[in-house]
Amino acid sequence: MKELEDIFKIKISDSKIFQSALTHPSYIQENNLEYIDCYERLEFLGDAVLKLVTSDILFNMYPESTEGELSKIRSIIVSDSTLAKIAKDNGLCDLIIISAHDRKQGLAKLDSVCACAFEAVLGAYYLDGKVDDIKKYIQSAIKPYIIDVKDNFLKYNAKEILQEYTQSKTKTRPEYRVISESGPAHKKVFEVEVSYEGEVLAAEKGLSKKDAEQKAAFCACKKLGIER
C-alpha cells in the first residue's frame, strides 16, 4: 500500500479495496478466493470515473471542439494502450497480484491487464473518499496525452481517417492483414499490411494488432497525401 501511495501521492484509508484493485482474476482462481476479491468490479467503477474526469477536462480545454471531436480524443485517451503506458511508467504494473503461472508468462505486463488495474485503483480511490485527489491525479497524468493526441490527430486516428477517405472515393474500405508474428506470448510483435483495391499501401509493426494497423494506416495516409 505504501508503494501505491507513493505512485499516486494519495493516502489510503481502506487498504482492503486496494488489495482487490491490484488482484488479477487468475490469482483468486488459483487461491479459491471470492469473485469480489479481484479487480473487475472496481475496474467497472474506475472506468466511469476516468471517462467523467476526462470528459470534463476536454470540455474545458477545447471549448470550440465538436462533440464528435471530443469523443474521438477521449476514446484514445481511455484506451488500453494509453492507460497501460501510464501504469507502466508509474510502476503500477509491478504491483499487480497475479497467479504464478500467468506471472511467468509475462501477462502482468499486457496492456489490457495494466489498464484494468489502473482503472480499478481509480475506482478504489473513489470509494475511499478521495474524489478530489484522484481527479487531480487524472488531470496531471492524462493532460500531456490529450495535448499530444490533439496536436497529432492523424497519427492516432489514422484508421478512421483512411477509411473515410477511401469510402469517399469508391465506397470501398481498406483491408488489413497480419503478415507475421514474432516474439514471446507476452510481448508479441505483429506486422500488418493495409491494402486498398488490391494495392498494398503500407506495412508496419506493433505490439498489438491494433497498434500495427494504426501505424500502417498512418503511413498509408502519408502516402496518399491525406492530412488532418
Cite the active site residues.
Answer: 47, 119
Residue 199: C-alpha distances to residues 28, 137, 144, 196, 204 (Å): 49, 46, 37, 5, 15
Question: The C-alpha cell of 125 is what?
Answer: 480511490
Find the angle CA(188)-CA(198)-CA(221) to the nearest 5 degrees: 65
SS (H, E, C) 32-94: CCCHHHCCHHHHHHHHHHHHHHHHHHHHHHCCCCCHHHHHHHHHHHCCHHHHHHHHHHCCHHH
184 burial via Cβ count (<10 Å: 0-12, 13-18, 19+): exposed
Cell numbers 487524472 correspond to what residue? 138
d(CA 161, CA 142): 24
Indicate the DSSP class of residue 97: B
